[in-house]
């Protein structure tokens, strides 16, 4: 997954970059204003960081995208999907995925080991951003989001392109209590004792909805191992959240 080391460093999915009407980025912890354990691009108000500084960080992201609005929610590790068709009124509460066909709305999910999954239907010009930790996989928020794209926007799953952000890798995803935490259907993803491959689980959940394997890109970067990212497993409660963002460009914008 290529990395752009600019003032506001970010990773991107080459497969999603092929669409000229789309912008997306997976940011890191670099390039923001927060200090100490939140240094520096913490995008969450809910982790103990100074809210004025978080606001400045969110504005950096909004400006980076030249977005009309930055859309985000207090995420709750469930499978509630918010469709934004008309007027957007952030902030939202209790949604872990957004779907829209409106240009200028930058959909942000906040991450520290969880997966940010970005979806694009280039035919109907519909996008989605999903926050998916292991609870999201168990609830299958991936299926819930694709269902909403089909129902509300007539997306064909075979048209969807997907990117799975840097997140908890199989190297670090130990689930000692997997027999009580995880449904039996997930046990076959167990590797090396009690470690799980959540990237493969998400890929399989995307494919089960009809998204072709060749249209699914996995960043393959573990946020526990790579210190450019915030990691809840590595750093505990007093750490920040980085962002994965996707937006349809406005017709008049020229970047």
Which residues would be at the binding site for Zn ion (CB under 5 A)? 169, 171-172, 222, 224-225
For Zn ion, give the closer residue by CB, 34 or 202: 202
Q: Considering the complex, what minimum distance in angstroms separates the CB of residue 174 from Zn ion?
A: 10
**The two three-digit tokens of residue 194, written as one number:** 């009690």
Alpha helices in the chain (DSSP H): 14-17, 51-64, 134-139, 141-153, 178-181, 198-208, 232-235
Q: Considering the complex, what minimum distance in angstroms separates the CB of residue 39 from Zn ion?
A: 21
For Zn ion, give the closer residue by CB, 171 or 185: 171
Residue entry with tokens 């995880």? 182
Question: Going along the chain, which residue ranges are E strands?
Answer: 3-4, 10-11, 22-27, 69-71, 73-74, 81-84, 92-93, 97-100, 105-111, 115-121, 126-132, 161-164, 190-191, 195-196, 216-218, 242-248
Q: Name the closest residue to Zn ion (Cβ).
A: 222
For Zn ion, give the closer residue by CB, 142 or 221: 221
Q: Considering the complex, what minimum distance in angstroms separates the CB of residue 189 from Zn ion?
A: 16
Q: Considering the complex, what minimum distance in angstroms separates the CB of residue 28 from Zn ion?
A: 16
For Zn ion, give the closer residue by CB, 17 or 227: 227
């Amino acid at each position: 997954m290529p990395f752009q080391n600019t003032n506001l460093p970010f990773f991107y999915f080459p497969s999603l970059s092929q669409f000229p009407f789309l912008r997306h980025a997976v940011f890191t912890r670099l390039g923001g204003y927060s200090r100490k354990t939140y240094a520096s691009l913490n995008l969450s108000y809910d982790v103990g960081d100074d809210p004025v500084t978080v606001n400045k960080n969110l504005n950096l992201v909004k400006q980076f995208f030249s977005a009309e609005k930055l859309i985000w929610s207090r995420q709750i590790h469930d499978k509630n999907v918010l469709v934004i068709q008309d007027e957007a009124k952030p902030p939202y509460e209790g949604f872990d995925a957004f779907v829209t066909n409106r240009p200028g709305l930058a959909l942000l999910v906040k991450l520290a080991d969880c997966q940010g999954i970005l979806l694009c239907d280039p035919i109907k010009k519909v996008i989605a951003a999903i926050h998916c930790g292991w609870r999201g996989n168990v609830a299958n928020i991936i299926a819930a989001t694709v269902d909403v794209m089909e129902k509300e926007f007539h997306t064909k799953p075979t048209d969807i392109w997907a990117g799975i952000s840097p997140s908890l890798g199989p190297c670090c995803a130990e689930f000692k209590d997997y027999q009580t935490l995880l449904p039996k259907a997930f046990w076959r993803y167990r590797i090396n004792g009690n470690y799980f491959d959540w990237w493969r689980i998400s890929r399989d959940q995307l494919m089960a909805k009809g998204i072709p394997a060749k249209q699914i890109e996995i960043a393959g970067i573990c946020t526990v191992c790579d210190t450019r990212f915030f990691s809840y497993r590595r750093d505990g409660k007093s750490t920040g959240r980085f962002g994965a963002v996707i937006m349809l460009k406005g017709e008049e914008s020229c970047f």
